[in-house]
Amino acid sequence: MWGSTTIHQIEENGYSKEVITEKHCVQSSTPLSHVQLACSWQYCAFPHDKRDVCVWNIHDPIMQTLELKGHHQSITALAFGNHYEPTLLCSAAEDYIIIWDVEACRMRIQQGFVPRGTVVGTLLGKVLYLCFSPDDQTLVTCADNKIYVLNCKQEDILAVLEGHLGAVTAAEFCPWQSNILVSISEDRTFKVWDLTGSVLLYQSAVLSSYPLLSLCMDNRAHQFITGSANGQLDVFTLLDGPQCRRVLHIDLQKEQQKYYCKIQQKVKLSENSDVECINSLSNCKNLHYSSSYLNDNDLESGPHAYIELPILRMSHCEYLLSSLLEKDSSFIPENSSSLWVGTINGLFNINLATGEIDATVQFEDHLGLSIQTVGSYAIGSRSTNKIFCLLSSMFGKDIALLEVHMHELARMCLQYSNLAECEKEPLSVIARTPLLPTSPLNCDLKKKEKSKPVGHSKTVTSGIKDKPVVFHTKVKSSGYTSAPRVNMFSPKVNPPKRVSSGMQEKNGCLKGITKEYPLDSLAPSTLHVRVSVSNQPTPVCCIQYSGDGKLLAVGLADKSMLVYNSSLTGSPAVFKGHDGAVNCVGWTQNNKWLLTASEDRSLWIWPAHGSTPALMLGTETFSKPARSAQFYYMDKFLLFSSGSEFQLHRYHLDTSRDDIKSYKKKSKSRLVGKFKMAGTQEISCLSAVNDFYSYVVLTAGTNRALEVFDLNVGRSVVIVPDAHARPVHQICQNNGSVFSTQPSGSYNLFLTTAITDGIKLWDMRTLRSVRRYEGHQNRCQPCGIALSPCGRFLATGSEDKSAYLFELGSSNFIHKLSGHTETVINLAFSSSAPKLTTATLDGKLQLFVP
């Protein structure tokens, strides 16, 4: 019976080690399902007998219990300060708001005195949320639809912030800018305040159909996260001006289902494997399953009730896998961090770079817990090894303190990730092993001559070769019409040396490299040139720069291809002949040949400075139009997709012609192999590196999966199901450039994009998504993406007639390139200079420079 596979016990050396333990549990006199609880790195606090505050030491809650009395009405909110010394605790009721010094109160109790606190507010109403400023000098109190800013030293109201139409559910200070306050409300909006002048800086639109319940600050990325009652999380960043920008949207319900699907596939794979697994997945009897998301029997029985996942509390923390991957920091994503999200039935650890769930702790899977349905949370931790959660029951009176062991949870997460598969032999784009004799890449176009039997020798019948009497490859003129020569003899003085063809190609390839690509240059965001490819609106299907950055090939929907110079000036060279839209264009490394693939099921190779194709592959080769086509393995092969398979062809190009057999072309190609992608109807895109030797070919299909092929062994090696919510329409690898150098690990990064599902950055070594990029509009058209040769910038098209530029290490875009007249459908970075060219659906090209 398969369902959710949340495991809370890990087999280690013959005994089970708990991932989550319950340290203490008590019953309150009244339910506390809607009370703000407090938990810090040392203490936790909750109301006891309505009007008293009970403080536990989280390391020894039974022996070190502290009771604080001072309220005459029921306590509705509690919060700890941000400093170690003194440790401040604030309690709020409708009568008073009191700040306690916990250590001082403990000392007074030991001395036999009654502990006393400082009253900082009186009769402010029903308080729903409390928050200390980063320096613990100011306290924010959320009462009804008002926000009171109080002095922590004495009873003094510094400011009253009004404007929300519903009850204010949370408010937090910005740690990186202490005068800024962010508040959320049941009116489904958030507001940004400047406390220096009590001024409203920004008011959001309605974010959800449900009230906003929780708020969390990310000091590392200078972002804040809001959580709603229907499980929607939004990550925002504060801009320099009075503006906010949404960076990431997370649907917790969908991410939970994807997480369960991924784990179930891993478990089934371990069951079917004959090799003994090194982790607990090999012993399926020890696994505990409870959720019915993927239970086949339950699915057949009928529909299920939809369970909402309200976001009750959030807490920022370090990246979950950082403790296990610290030995090899190359596997740890840059600027990575995690978010703990508490819902009514469990805890979720979400990677803030990707928006995906790394681990989850479902309370119903652990029978030893007293609380299965949670009403209120408090999460506190200053250690990377464990976190502490104080819970109150939704329907009962129980209060429980839980301890989650991060190291064990990270090990469990590692078992279900692709990191466990890549620990021994991680994949690499750069070829690191010799080419196998049986590899499809180890082939030659010319067939070897058949060996002749021993002793057989060639007999010389005549020393005169047969030659044509009249016809030659070139017939010289008789000379009757030419002027007579004046000089009968002229000696050759210092004749020029002949240069081999290989040296000529090398010189031609390197000619023009006068300086390196400026790695520290700014992003190209200034419009330089705008041109139209045609008099009529013509969609641009594809664009690509040549290796030397001097030419730009543009494939059009009007069945033609144009070649511009890098500055987009002058008249372009026109290549015509296809009977369908040109889907793909590609350059060889020496920039002498061009490849085009069309909707008419053909692939042609053209000389860069000619108008007649040297090689033509037609319908006998393609069952369906090629969605992707390119040169591969340092121009040795042709690589293209057709239907659910991709083909590898060896080719030879020769434009010389025989006067006798002028109809017969000397260019030819030969099929080396066909490779079928599993479980898909059509390959939507593929990608492989041509600038250096690489065995890896990446494919994406209409089944929304990614599949990695190793052509050194000639087969598929890894499948990543459900890479996006929609089929991937482009894979963009970090190809680098001959003008720039990058660390070898950078070439293992690649990007994928899909309609309505944003852009994902992947690491080939782990095949995990390490970052997600949103903010652009891509709901209908397959907007393209491009990666700069320096590996620092990502550009993407958008349907709002703009292009967006991201820094690869941040999910927040740095430039919005507006001014286009239609959807930006394709982009390309120059390989030799910091230039970006964008192409639109109406046939406009725009060149941007720094």
The two tokens of residue 624 are: 């369906």
With cut-offs at 50, 70 and 90, classify the pLDDT of residue 3. very low
Contact criterion met (CB below 8 Å) for 748 and 428: yes
Q: How far apart are the C-alpha atoms of 229 and 213, rounded to whole Å?
A: 6
Strand residue runs (E) in 239-365: 244-251, 313-318, 337-342, 346-351, 357-362
pLDDT at 300: 41
The proportion of the chain whose per-residue pLDDT surpasses 90, expressed as a percent, equals 50
The two tokens of residue 473 are: 């490859």
- Which has the closest alpha carbon to 367: 4, 2, 5, 8? 8
Q: Per-residue pLDDT tens for 290-340? A: 444 444 444 344 444 557 789 999 998 887 766 555 544 454 556 678 899
| Cα-Cα end-to-end distance for the chain | 59
The two tokens of residue 802 are: 């703009």
Contact criterion met (CB below 8 Å) for 167 and 139: no
Beta-carbon count within 10 A of 312 CB: 22
Contact criterion met (CB below 8 Å) for 816 and 829: no
The two tokens of residue 263 are: 């784990």
Phi, psi of 240 (to 5 degrees): -60, -40
**Helical (H) or strand (E) element with 31:** none
User: Residue 737's beta-bridge partner residues?
Assistant: 740
Q: How far apart are the C-alpha atoms of 567 and 495, rounded to whole Å?
A: 39
Q: How far apart are the C-alpha atoms of 275 and 466, rounded to whole Å?
A: 68
Number of residues in the chain: 850
Contact criterion met (CB below 8 Å) for 572 and 564: yes
Q: Per-residue pLDDT tens for 75-109? A: 999 999 988 888 999 999 999 999 999 999 989 88
pLDDT at 721: 87
Q: How far apart are the C-alpha atoms of 102 and 83, rounded to whole Å?
A: 12
Q: How far apart are the C-alpha atoms of 650 and 654, rounded to whole Å?
A: 14
Q: Per-residue pLDDT tens for 699-719? A: 999 999 999 999 999 999 989
Q: How far apart are the C-alpha atoms of 449 and 63, rounded to whole Å?
A: 90
Q: Which amino acid is at 784?
A: G
Q: Per-residue pLDDT tens for 583-613? A: 999 999 989 999 999 999 999 999 988 888 9
Number of Cα atoms under 13 Å in the Cβ half of residue 249: 13
Q: What is the mean pLDDT of residues 624-648?
A: 93
pLDDT at 267: 67
Q: 122-126, 568-572, 749-753 — which one is most confidently predicted on average?
A: 749-753
CA distances from 140 to 127, 143, 323, 541 (A): 10, 10, 35, 55
Query: Which 3 state secondary structure label does DSSP give 363?
Result: helix
Residue 744, pLDDT > 50, answer yes
Contact criterion met (CB below 8 Å) for 13 and 34: no
Q: Which of 62-66, 214-218, 417-421 has the lowest mean pLDDT?
A: 417-421
- Which has the closest alpha carbon to 534: 847, 848, 839, 785? 839
